[in-house]
Amino acid sequence: MRYLWIVFVMLSATLFGQTVQYGRVDLYDNGALLSGVTLTIPSEHDCQPTMSDAKGCFRLCFAKHQVGDVICGIEARKHGYEVVNVHVTRQWTLTTADTLHVVMAPKDKVKEARMRYYELSGLSPKEMLWLDGARLYEVESPVFSFNISRYHKGVAPSDVDSDIPKTDRMNDKAFAVIIANEDYQQEQHVPFAIHDGEVFKEYCTNLLGIPETNVHFVTDATLNNMRYEIDWLKATLAAYQGEAQGIFYYSGHGMPDETSRCAYLLPVDGYGSNMESGFGLDALYAQLGSTGADRVMYFVDACFSGATREGEMLAESRGVAVNSKAGELQGNAIAFSAAQGNETAYAYQEKSHGMFTYYLLKKLKETRGDITAGELADYLNESISRMSAVEGMKAQHPTAHGVMTDWRTIKIK
């Protein structure tokens, strides 16, 4: 069995104000050079697609970038082959060292090549692997028996990911929808969004006692995916006629309407310049607020200023942060949001989470959920505003508000 390991050896230099990257494509098994590999980089990086020449060499010029900048969404293609280590093309930091090492294998061998590359002994059918916070692939073969729910390579484990408290009291009248949007088709990806959602799901089932069947967890949701899940939660809460409790968690991009300043959740097939491609926060609040549920809690790890977790603007935005409106809650609802209307919801790189999600999980773990909404709101605001300052970021101040006059005294669990 032969695998093709495509090695892009990247050297940096500066020429006429441009960052110039030189590369060479090598064939790992016999050292021969491989030509005809097409490398494509998103247009926002101001770099034209290129193909390795007959000698396996290529050159890329980045007029807008310099050493230290992050390049996302690179695609390496050659007919009959697939990339094995897909994480390196999702997020590449320009440095003066050899940084981009793309591994390719024949399409019919790529899954086995990934197992070999990541040094995994096996895993159970249909398990998902996670690498650098991104979904790697789904195993279809039933021959592996080693059970693994998450695998991180090169990502520092977080203290909130393990030893999650477990309750002995199940809440079979509680229902949750968790949407984690990371890999966008038209916009930049959202670091750690899927990891956020995955771990929040574990807190729902273990700490909050929500049955697995009552939790819908969706990754990289399209607009119709989001509509379906919200419709399911709406119908389910309504069917319990005031006895059920709902949780809606979202991690991903948000976007503002520059005219109305209304906030929208952005599906992975949406784009920032068209509000019809998003799901309005007001519409979400109205639909779930009409169910008569005993309580609905919203946790939104997104900002609605038009910025990404890295502090840049969405590709389709005008480059100016918009001070969006918080949205009008309806029904017996409490909403926690990662940032104020004109701020950015940052990633917490050291913890492999969004900053809002990390501190939310941290407090839930410390208190085992025995905390009021007001206490949680105060903790999130204090912790995140301080950490964003320590990390040298712009200010990030989480918000919380509720419809009920006594919302601050209501227990989370």
Is position 253 within any domain? yes
Partners of 372 in the β-ladder: 411
Is position 169 within any domain? no
291 and 331 fall within a common domain = yes
Q: Is the pLDDT of residue 299 over 90?
A: yes
Partners of 348 in the β-ladder: 353
Measured between alpha carbons, how far is 370 from 315 in angstroms, rounded to an integer? 41
Residues 6+ apart with CB under 8 A from 385: 395, 396, 397, 398
286 and 373 fall within a common domain = yes
Is position 137 within any domain? yes
147 and 281 fall within a common domain = no
Contact in structure between 109 and 3 (CB atoms under 8 Å): yes
132 and 88 fall within a common domain = no
Contact in structure between 305 and 322 (CB atoms under 8 Å): yes
- For the chain, what is the mean pLDDT? 77
Is position 323 within any domain? yes
**The tokens 């390719």 sit on which residue?**
104
Helix (H), strand (E) at residue 256: strand 254-256
92 and 184 fall within a common domain = no
SS3 390: helix
With cut-offs at 50, 70 and 90, classify the pLDDT of residue 197. Answer: very high
With cut-offs at 50, 70 and 90, classify the pLDDT of residue 378. Answer: very high
- Mean pLDDT over 214-226 rounds to 94
219 and 364 fall within a common domain = yes
Contact in structure between 34 and 6 (CB atoms under 8 Å): yes
What is the pLDDT at residue 41? 79
Nearest to 80 by CA among 30, 115, 27, 36: 36
Structure tokens at 178: 């968790």
Q: pLDDT of 123-160, one tens digit each?
A: 443 343 443 333 343 333 333 322 233 333 334 568 99
217 and 144 fall within a common domain = no
Is position 167 within any domain? no
The domain spanning residue 18 has which CATH number? 2.60.40
Burial (0-12, 13-18, 19+ Cβ within 10 Å), 301: buried
- Mean pLDDT over 44-53 rounds to 72
Q: Is the pLDDT of residue 203 over 80?
A: yes
| Boundaries of domain holding 55 | 6-110
- Which of these ranges, 81-85, 137-141, 295-299, 396-400, has the smallest mean pLDDT? 137-141
What is the pLDDT at residue 29? 45
Residues 6+ apart with CB under 8 A from 5: 26, 27, 28, 29, 103, 104
What is the pLDDT at residue 30? 44
What is the pLDDT at residue 14? 41
Is position 1 within any domain? no
Boundary of a domain, candidates 93, 127, 155: 155
Nearest to 355 by CA among 220, 171, 172, 158: 158
Of 301 and 142, the structure prediction assigns the larger pLDDT to 301
Q: Is the pLDDT of residue 190 over 90?
A: no
Partners of 264 in the β-ladder: 255, 280
Within a 10 A sphere around the Cβ of 113, how many other Cβ atoms? Answer: 21
- Mean pLDDT over 393-409 rounds to 90
Q: Is the pLDDT of residue 315 over 50?
A: no
74 and 150 fall within a common domain = no
**The tokens 């040094």 sit on which residue?**
119
133 and 274 fall within a common domain = no
Measured between alpha carbons, how far is 24 from 142 in angstroms, rounded to an integer? 38
Boundary of a domain, candidates 110, 135, 163: 110
83 and 191 fall within a common domain = no
Q: DSSP for 148-199?
A: -S---SSSPPPTTSSS----S---TTEEEEEEE----SSS---TTHHHHHHH
19 and 137 fall within a common domain = no
Is position 164 within any domain? no
Count of the separate structural domains present in the chain: 3
What is the pLDDT at residue 141? 33
CA atoms lying within 13 Å on the CB side of residue 56:
14
Is position 52 within any domain? yes
Q: pLDDT of 154-168, one tens digit each?
A: 345 689 988 999 998
Helix (H), strand (E) at residue 287: helix 281-289
Q: pLDDT of 323-353, one tens digit each?
A: 445 668 999 999 999 988 677 888 888 888 9
305 and 390 fall within a common domain = yes
Structure tokens at 329: 């809650």
